[in-house]
A and B are shown apart, each in its own frame.
Chain A
Amino acid sequence: MEKTIFQYSSSGRTGVALPLLDVPETPVTARFGRKETIGLPQVTEGQAMRHFVRLSTMNFNIEEGLYPLGSCTMKYNPRLHEFLARIEGLAVVHPLSDDSTVQGTLELMYKLGESLCEITGFEAVTLQPAAGAQGEFTGLMLIKKWQDERGQEHRNEVLMPDSAHGTNPATSTLAGLKVVSVRSDEHGRVDVEDLRSKAGENTCAFMLTNPNTLGIFESSIDEITKIIHDAGGLNYMDGANMNAMLGIARPGDMGFDVCHLNLHKTFSTPHGGGGPGSGAVCCVEMLKEYLPPSTVEKTDEGYKLLGGTGNTIGRLLAFHGNVGVLYRAYAYVRTLGPKGLREVSEVALINANYMKARLKPYYDVPNDDGPCMHEFVASGAAMAEKGVKTLDIAKRLLDYGFHAPTIYFPQIVKEALMIEPTETESLESIDSFIDAMIAIAEEIDTKPHLVTDAPVNTPVLRLDEVKAVKDLCLVEPVEHQ
């Protein structure tokens, strides 16, 4: 346990030496002046470093071990990228600089956009969205605008499978659209007949993650996207699982009209403990005029940052997107090239299928009717009947030195464990994870308390989430000023 930074504070300490004021003072107008202390800590740089380093040691991270979070694509984050994004000429650039003085960044953004279009099979791109969910919002607003422009304002329904990520319905609500849930069939794919019966004159868009959240490729994708097009809707692909398809299949070739990419998943940019990400959106030519401002165009006079057409859906952020994240994604594409990108997906597929094959004797894998893509979903339902929940299995994995898979999602699988190894894990590390999973399965039969009491080898024991809500404490009490 580490004290809070406020508990290290002592009056008069500071951690940064500022320049001396070398201009005359202008008194702060009394009626505006801040009256009380702020309550920030007072520590030296050394004390601050010790505190934050101690905190850091309580974090699991990708450089420590395998991080099999399904749909999160926790692959290795190249160290080179951290250096590149901090090069002074790239980091110290004001976002309102004249185009002629930021040609380097604009060229990179342009080239990254071109590459993402090639990878997805689309014609236009915006790099502005800050994260996947903002990309989804962008995509739905593009579609809505297109519908409105064609006199189809009444189309207010977004269809999506019952296995959709939570952001999909939440984004639909934000866009002012109604969610219509489509059933999954017995194999975990979109129930095409249910989709057909629900697509109609109110269909604005269809949102689908492909491969879907069970890690299964939607084999009827041609038929699915055609049903929506015939009904007058457009198809949106949630690109969370793009790591399965680089150079293998492209959303633009499957009848999708728009998709977002999570650069912080597929393109290796670090998750940062929750962000920043980047939710670049690629789309077909007919949606280009609705894109947000801050797209980049190549002209005879160099690269130009565009302000958006009169038909734009508008700005999503004050400036041009998480540019520092774009720097990293560009470096990734440059390092790997076309063959290297395809290899990423091929090995991601092999790793996931290998894990599935080896774990199947111990864990139930529902919806298993052939190869999975880059991830698969196991079920702890049989273990739950023995009194050990999926949550317990997840916590026990922490004791074995691994992060847990994504749990209880998708909601259509009972006690779900969604496992994605990614291509950057070696056979050795995958095997040791499998060994841990098998050992836990055995513990459930022989010493279940080891699992239900887990974790015990972590900085803290299992935390009381109910108490956190009941005795809400979101800030350090003021006595620690």
Chain B
Amino acid sequence: MSIYVPNGKVEREQMLDVIGVDKLEDLLTPIPESIRFKGELDLPAPASELEVVNEFKGFAAKNSSADLVCFLGAGAYDHYIPAAIDNILTRSEFFTAYTPYQAEVSQGTLQAIFEYQTMISRLTGCDAANACMYDGASAVAEAALMAIRSTRKKRVLVAGSVNPRTIDVIHTYMDNGDFEINEVPFGSDGLIDLEAADKLAEGGVAALVLQYPNYFGSIEDVKAAADLIHGHKGLLVVAADPIALGVIEAPGRLGADVVVGEGQPMGIAMSYGGPYVGFMATNAAFLRKMPGRIVGRTEDRAGNTGYVLTLQTREQHIRRAKATSNICSNQALMALANVIYLTLTGETGFKEVARQCWHRSHYLHDRLLEIDGVTDVFDTPFCREFVIDLPVSADTAVEAMGEAGYLAGLPIPGLGDGAIMLTATEKRSRKEMDSFVEALGKHIKGAR
């Protein structure tokens, strides 16, 4: 009898008796004999708690990546996570609860989501936000579909300076035979070619999708892009790095219609890619086109303030085939991590994290350029991530740095053999950066 099943032989017999059958097999009669599984599943024998812990420690020991000093970003960032977050996340009241369909016994989750929606809408400069999406990339894809619903146009422009993984996800979501995606090239400055976008938008498009800062870390001109696409009656969808928004202007204030992004940098472990959470915010005009859950404030029968899931007629469990999305389970607990992170850091701390990412990345960038033969790939203002060109193979450099204890960054083969993208969060001390620059300098000297 497993440790998770309280009803043993005695209870089972008693219950079978009440059911009116002799044995368990009598309950299996609806399953035709021909398709029943015979024998035992070919799985390892059960393990004790101690054995499971040891097995997991063994897995952890084989993940040498966890010991590397991280300068790699490209969609997942090594930020400090305040200890208090996990203390809240491991409260059963939050992590073992279901979706708050029974609002009267789910006020904790509902109010936390309401506060999350508020913080995301303020951070992005939009009127409102939903309760969250799966991750940043799928949130972008859902935003593109939302733009299609809002404009009744079937074509979407995507900047080539958007993370290629995000572009992949947009393609997966929009591959229904009815929609078209056009990629807008980026110029020699690494920024979207707005003239090309203008031409491609002719004939009408649902949206232009832009990343801000873009994949290469450079800061796109959101306002110019918004004016351009609005001229073609399309929407501007901006995929924003939330930490960057502590330093650079909120896309919603620059004309973006839908602002989405990856919430991982706000208090969520990198955990090899998930669970993360996507955020989505928009303006009043498009609220009802949003996918996913939304929490609203209301009153109970005595006039007390309370919170409920609202605008549910957009959703699959009511609207079925005509729903705004098929999303049901989302990433609620990760959104809770976000709202606790935003609360703990708060107005000053959050901006300080953002400011430090800016300054540390620029320091790292400037120090790296001091290495003989290292050059900038784009001469464009960046926020917290940048691409440089090494005079040696970026792949080889990453490998060598791995041996020296660093997760050096991401090679970008499309920009040249030596092109590599790096970032420095508030966790990277000057000493770590200096040692890294020294080690990379040595490698380059030796390899040339």
- 6 more CB-based (< 8 A) A-B contacts, given A59-B94, A276-B277: A21-B359, A26-B359, A43-B343, A172-B321, A318-B276, A461-B104
B7 touches A16 (CB 8 A): no
Q: How far is the CA of A88 from the CA of B270 in the complex (A)?
A: 11
What is the total number of residues of chain A having a CB less than 8 Å from a CB of chain B?
202
Q: Does A340 contact B (CB under 8 A)?
A: yes
**Residue of A60, A173, A427 touching B105 (CB-CB under 8 A):** A60
Whether A317 pairs with B94 at a CB distance below 8 angstroms is no
Q: Among A33, A319, A338, A425, point to the contact of B6 (Cβ < 8 A).
A: A425
* Per-residue contact bits, chain A 15-34, to B (CB 8 Å; 1 contact, 0 not): 11011011111101100111
Residue of B whose beta carbon sits closest to that of A474: B128
Contact partners of A427 in chain B: CB under 8 A: 6-7, 11, 14-15
Residue of A nearest to B430 (CB): A22
Whether B245 sits at the interface, judged by CB under 8 Å, is yes
10 contacts between A and B (CB under 8 A): A15-B82, A48-B340, A94-B78, A97-B407, A104-B58, A115-B43, A274-B99, A349-B27, A354-B19, A468-B298
Contacts of A53 in B (CB 8 A): 88, 91
CB closest chain-B residue, reference A34: B249
> A338 contacts which chain B residues (CB < 8 A)?
40-43, 45
Residues of A within 8 A of B58 (CB): 104
Whether B171 pairs with A4 at a CB distance below 8 angstroms is no
A274 to B332, CA, bound (A): 5
B112:A272 contact, CB within 8 angstroms:
no
Whether B98 and A34, one on each chain, are in contact in the complex, defined by CB atoms closer than 8 angstroms, is no
CA–CA, A357 and B111, complex, Å: 39
The answer to whether B91 and A351 touch across the interface, beta carbons within 8 angstroms, is no
In chain A, positions 427-481 with a C-beta closer than 8 Å to chain B are 427, 455, 458-465, 467-469, 471-476
Interface residue B152 (Cβ < 8 Å from any Cβ of A): no
Among the stretches A162-170, A280-288, A378-386, the one at the interface with B is A162-170
Chain A residue contacts of B407, Cβ below 8 A: 94, 97
Contact of A69 with B by CB under 8 A: yes
A273: which B residues are within 8 A, CB to CB?
Answer: 94-95, 97-100, 106, 109, 112, 332-333, 336
Size of the B side of the interface (Cβ < 8 Å), in residues, is 206
Most buried by A among B330, B347, B402: B347
> Which label, helix, strand, loop or mixed, suits the secondary structure of the A interface?
loop
Q: Are B35 and A56 in contact (CB under 8 A)?
A: no
Which residues from chain B contact A404 at a C-beta distance below 8 Å?
Answer: 102
Contacts of B219 in A (CB 8 A): 29, 32
Please, which residue of chain A has its CB at the minimum distance from the CB of B305?
A: A1
> Nearest Cβ in chain A — how far from B444, in angstroms?
20
- A59-B52 contact in complex given A38-B246, A88-B66, A221-B35, C-beta closer than 8 Å: no
A32-B381, A38-B123, A373-B30 given; A59·B270 CB < 8 A:
no
Residues B169 and A314 in contact, CB atoms below 8 Å apart: yes
A133 at interface, CB cutoff 8 A: yes
Query: B393: CB under 8 A from chain A?
Result: no
A311 close to chain B: CB less than 8 A: no
In the complex, chain B residues whose CB is within 8 Å of the CB of A133:
316, 326-329
Q: Is the CB of A92 within 8 A of B122?
A: no
Taking a contact as CB atoms under 8 Å apart, the answer to whether B169 and A336 are in contact is no
CB-defined contacts of A14 to chain B, threshold 8 Å: 344-346, 348-349
What are the 7 A-B residue pairs with the smallest beta carbon separation, nearest first?
A: A176-B176, A89-B60, A319-B273, A272-B333, A337-B46, A95-B273, A274-B332
Residue among B109, B311, B318, B342 making CB contact with A59, cutoff 8 Å: B109
B448 in the interface, Cβ–Cβ < 8 Å?
no
Q: Which of B66, B336, B359, B426 contacts A18 (CB 8 A)?
A: B426
Residue pairs across A and B with CB atoms within 8 Å: the count is 687
Please give, as numbers and ranges, the residues of chain A lying within 8 Å of B31 by CB-CB distance: 217, 219, 248-249
Evaluate contact between A102 and B328: CB separation under 8 angstroms: no
B123 CB to nearest chain A CB (Å): 6
Chain B 221-255: CB-based contact to A (< 8 A → 1; otherwise 0): 00000000000000000000000011111100100
Check if B12 is an interface residue, CB within 8 A of chain A: yes
Q: Which of A13, A69, A107 contacts B346 (CB 8 A)?
A: A13
Q: Are B359 and A131 in contact (CB under 8 A)?
A: no
CB atoms of A4 and B111 under 8 A apart: yes
Contacts of B28 in A (CB 8 A): 248, 349, 371
* B267 CB, nearest partner CB in chain A, Å: 10
Contact at B98–A69, with CB atoms within 8 Å? yes
Q: Select one of A69, A264, A341 contacting B43, CB under 8 A.
A: A341
> Are A49 and B59 touching (Cβ within 8 A)?
no
In contact, A103 and B63 (Cβ under 8 angstroms): yes
Interface contact A101-B97, CB-CB below 8 Å: no
Name the one of B272, B356, B426 contacting A320, with C-beta atoms under 8 angstroms. Answer: B272
CB of B262 to closest CB in A, whole Å = 7
Check B172–A475 contact: CB distance below 8 A.
Answer: no
Contact A102:B7 (CB < 8 A) given known A14-B348, A254-B35: no
Q: Which of B298, B323, B426 contacts A173 (CB 8 A)?
A: B323
Interface string of A295-331 (1 = CB under 8 A from B): 0000000000000000001111111111111010001
User: Using Cβ atoms and an 8 Å threshold, which residues of chain B touch A24?
Assistant: 359, 363
Whether B46 lies near A60 (C-beta < 8 A) is no
CA distance A124 to B171 in the complex (A): 23
Beta-carbon contact of B429 and A344 below 8 Å: no
Contact of B137 with A318 in the complex, beta carbons under 8 Å: yes
Q: Is the CB of B61 within 8 A of A89?
A: yes
Q: Are B12 and A39 closer than 8 Å at their CB atoms?
A: no
Interface status of A277 (Cβ within 8 A of chain B): yes
Collect the chain A residues with CB atoms within 8 Å of residue B349's CB. Answer: 14-16, 18
Name the B residues within 8 Å of A136 (CB-CB).
326
Report the Cα distance A342→B342, complex, angstroms.
44
What residues on B are CB-neighbors of A370 within 8 Å? 29-30
Asked if residues A167 and B41 are in contact (CB atoms below 8 Å), the reply is no
- Which of B68-76, B184-192, B195-203, B368-376 contacts its partner? B68-76
Complex interface: chain B residues within 8 A of A98 (CB) = 65, 398-399, 402
CB of A339 within 8 A of CB of B311, answer no
Nearest opposing residue in chain B for A408, CB measure: B317
A388 on the interface (CB 8 Å rule)?
no
Residues of B within 8 A of A317 (CB): 134-135, 137-138, 169, 273-274
State A167–B302 Cα separation when bound (angstroms): 35
A15 and B62 form a contact (CB under 8 A): no
- The chain A residue with its CB closest to the CB of B171 is A314
B310 / chain A contacts, CB cutoff of 8 Å: 465, 468-469, 472, 474
Is A182 an interface position by the 8 A CB rule? Answer: no
Contact of B343 among A5, A32, A100 (CB under 8 A): A5
Interface assignment of A122: CB less than 8 Å from any CB of chain B: no
Q: Is the CB of A236 closer than 8 A to any CB of chain B?
A: no
Cα A473 to Cα B178 in complex, Å, equals 35
CA separation between A28 and B11, bound complex, in Å? 69
Across the interface, do A271 and B97 meet the contact criterion of CB distance under 8 Å?
yes
Say whether A469 contacts B296, CB under 8 Å: yes
- Chain B residues whose C-beta falls within 8 Å of the C-beta of A72 in the assembled complex: 98
Q: Residue B298 contacts which of A9, A314, A467 (CB distance < 8 angstroms)?
A: A467
